[in-house]
Structure 1
Amino acid sequence: MAMVRMRHGDGVLNPPRTATGIGQVFHALRARKPRRAPDLPGEPRWRSEYVAAEFTGPRLRLQEFGYASRELGRAFGRIDDTALVGPFRMLTEEGLDCLAEVCDRLEPAAGDSGFAAARRLRGADLMSPFLNNMIRDRTFLLACSRLVGVPLIPHPLRIPTAQINYCEGQGRPDIVRWRRDGMDYVFTVQLSGSDEYEGGHFTYFQGRAAEFEDVREDDPRIREAPRGERGAALFLHGSRVFHAVTPVTKGRRVTLVISLFCPYFAGRDSNTFWQLAGDDGALATLPGWVRLKWPVRDAAMDFSMRAASPVITWEDLC
């Protein structure tokens, strides 16, 4: 993912130096010790009834970020134009309690990254039946799809599909890591109440991604999303919107990040191989990457099979 740091010296948000060329290759090939999944006896069981009755919240469209109509995906008379929605309630209170318990119990498997401020666990759905069933539940996927306006399934790249971030009070509150994601459809669920931590504000640049270079910290297009309480969710078109979370300066903030995928816009997927390999290593990334780029005849069916997901079609959104 592209990342930048806020520098108060000149007020310009400049990208840091990152590995390129052979250095980038070595970074992606670095050895990775497999993490042992924590023992989760008696894990709560996922139920479709945990999906909130209605997903709704404040909405911004990509046109409001300066994107032209010709830049947006179109299929079956629909336009892929949702930029940001939220905060909204994704789960019932009981479902949220179960999710928070699962994420707390998975924390021992989380690790540090050289470029992410939070400790994190990628591929969390591979360790938890609750998370696996949640993000592959048809009721859940239909609600997400109708919120965004396009058919969505779990991302076929299994490792980035579900990530839990565990962020605790940090130093250097002046450093803000800006980025845009390779994932196009990103849902973040906040599992900590705002009274449990300080900082941790979600900010975004309300402009085209190509315009972010040389943006100053006092640019009026830098906005802050409404701050939600425990259980608040936010949808972001991650590859189109530069965004950041300000450092947590006190307390603990836990979030679940779910990356979904629209089979009909697979050709527009924003991930690059080296971007993914930088997170997960080249050997772990290659099989999923090859499957993602393999030609398909029936987008909905083929990609759903790859993601072990129910099929969601445009007709389901009606």
Structure 2
Amino acid sequence: MAMVRTRRGEDGVLNLPRTATGVDQFFHAVRARRPRRLPGVPGEPRWRGEFVAPDADGPRVTLQEFGYASRELARHGDTVDDTALVGPFRVLTAEGLDRLAEVCDRLEPAAGSSRFIATRRLRGADLVSPFLHNMIRDRGFLLACSRTAGVPLIPHPLRLPTAQINYFEGRGRPEIVRWHRDGMDYVFTIQLSDGADYEGGRFTYFQGRTDEFDDVTADDPRIREADCTARGATLFLHGSRVFHAVTPVTRGRRVTLVVSLFCPYFARRDSNTFWHLAGDDGILATVPGWLRLKWPVRDPALDFGLRAASPVVTWEDLRR
């Protein structure tokens, strides 16, 4: 697959709105509707472990190339958590991608609107889809993601943001993803639409520190675009340390699945903030997951693995 493009982003990309902060973020949290409890989708396909593509990997950029100092990065023994971006690559086979796209299409009627980050999305999709639930708890899938990111990963203990489907339609008011950084540290975006079927919808990011983004100008060469428009293209992003956005979809339809995973060995360094989560899901829906995430743990690798009903992935697994 093609390398990540390092050319400039589309003209006017910096004019995209940013995620609300401060008082505006608080009001988003107050107004946000609690996600609905949705019934499952009858007749969806079954997840199978052979849907995971062998040797998933792609071109990578380090956090130090984004301007972060070595002392700012998490460490475990001799391993440094220094991966900022990987991709595009394929994490699913062609058949697995077809089945995933079918599931996400079936779930679209349940999607809701949001003005916080993504225009139209379904949060907590794995709570209503056995296919998605089993996919992100499949040992082969988790190993592929862990080896890509360079750290052991499990499903995120915060259940609502773990699997989010973003839907974009190029009609009426253009649908976008605002400039933002994620609360999540380890984020995988799987492209379910072919880039030839829509216009716009370009994944754009700032290759610099998040605290430098406020001073960015239109001619800044650090505004870049990831070439992940091919159907099945997957992009890994250290979401909390990278400002990114998606340009308006002006024609056609674009669908992506965003999977947020968690490194239990760095549990105390988790980057989520309460108001960032509450801005998307509302205060009442955020509190239970927030308390579970921040509760002290004695053995993070075991405790969080059991809480997420996930196979435990270790550092030794990444070396095999």
* TM-score normalised according to structure 1 size: 0.91
Offset of 1:282 from its aligned partner? 1.1
Paired residue secondary structure (1:32): coil
Quick one: distance in 2 between partners of 1:209 and 1:38? Answer: 39
Q: Do the aligned partners of residues 34 and 271 (structure 1) sit closer, same or farther apart at CA in structure 2, a change above 3 Å counting?
A: closer
For the aligned residues, what is the CA RMSD?
Answer: 2.4
Q: Is the 8 A contact 2:124 2:161 kept in 1?
A: yes
Map 1:29-68 → 2, pairs under 5 A: 29-30=30-31, 32=33, 34-35=35-36, 37=38, 40-68=41-69
Quick one: distance in 1 between partners of 2:174 and 2:115? Answer: 18
Match of 1:151 in 2: 152
Offset of 1:228 from its aligned partner? 3.6
Map 1:87-98 → 2, pairs under 5 A: 87-98=88-99
Quick one: distance in 2 between partners of 1:317 and 1:33? Answer: 38
Offset of 1:178 from its aligned partner? 1.2
Offset of 1:217 from its aligned partner? 1.8
Quick one: distance in 2 between partners of 1:258 and 1:288? Answer: 17
User: In the alignment, residue 147 of structure 2 is paired with which amino acid?
Assistant: R
Q: Is the 8 A contact 1:29 1:283 kept in 2?
A: no
Match of 2:5 in 1: none
Map 1:14-29 → 2, pairs under 5 A: 18=20, 20-21=22-23, 24-25=25-26, 27-29=28-30
Offset of 1:244 from its aligned partner? 1.1
Match of 1:182 in 2: 183
Quick one: distance in 1 between partners of 2:208 and 2:21? Answer: 27
Offset of 1:209 from its aligned partner? 0.9
Q: Do the aligned partners of residues 93 and 213 (structure 1) sit closer, same or farther apart at CA in structure 2, a change above 3 Å counting?
A: same
Q: Does 1:256 align with 2:264?
A: no
Q: Is the 8 A contact 2:192 2:257 kept in 1?
A: yes
Match of 1:206 in 2: 207
Map 1:134-173 → 2, pairs under 5 A: 134-169=135-170
Paired residue secondary structure (1:256): strand
Quick one: distance in 2 between partners of 1:153 and 1:263? Answer: 7
Match of 2:219 in 1: 218
Match of 2:271 in 1: 270
Q: Do the aligned partners of residues 24 and 115 (structure 1) sit closer, same or farther apart at CA in structure 2, a change above 3 Å counting?
A: closer
Quick one: distance in 1 between partners of 2:65 and 2:55? Answer: 25
Aligned residues: 310
Q: Is the 8 A contact 1:59 1:85 kept in 2?
A: yes
Percent identical pairs in the alignment equals 74
Quick one: distance in 2 between partners of 1:12 and 1:124? Answer: 30
Quick one: distance in 2 between partners of 1:148 and 1:31? Answer: 32
Offset of 1:175 from its aligned partner? 8.3
Match of 2:114 in 1: 113
Task: Tell me whether 219-228 or 125-134 shows the greater mean CA deviation.
Answer: 219-228
Q: Is the 8 A contact 2:17 2:178 kept in 1?
A: no
Paired residue secondary structure (2:164): strand
Match of 1:290 in 2: 291
Unaligned runs of 5+ in 2: 1-9
Q: Is the 8 A contact 2:16 2:179 kept in 1?
A: no
Q: Is the 8 A contact 2:118 2:166 kept in 1?
A: no
* TM-score normalised according to structure 2 size: 0.90
Match of 1:193 in 2: 194
Quick one: distance in 2 between partners of 1:139 and 1:185? Answer: 17
Unaligned runs of 5+ in 1: 1-5
Quick one: distance in 1 between partners of 2:143 and 2:127? Answer: 22
Paired residue secondary structure (2:204): strand
CA offsets, 1:217-246, max 9 Å, x none? 210111111234111100000011111111
CA offsets, 1:253-303, max 9 Å, x none? 000000000011111111111111111111111111111111111110011
Paired residue secondary structure (1:246): strand
Q: Is the 8 A contact 1:117 1:167 kept in 2?
A: no
Q: Does 1:300 align with 2:301?
A: yes
Q: Do the aligned partners of residues 287 and 176 (structure 1) sit closer, same or farther apart at CA in structure 2, a change above 3 Å counting?
A: closer
Match of 1:76 in 2: 77
Offset of 1:117 from its aligned partner? 4.8
Q: Is the 8 A contact 1:76 1:314 kept in 2?
A: no
User: In the alignment, residue 192 of structure 1 is paired with which amino acid?
Assistant: S
Q: Does 1:230 align with 2:221?
A: no
Offset of 1:313 from its aligned partner? 1.1
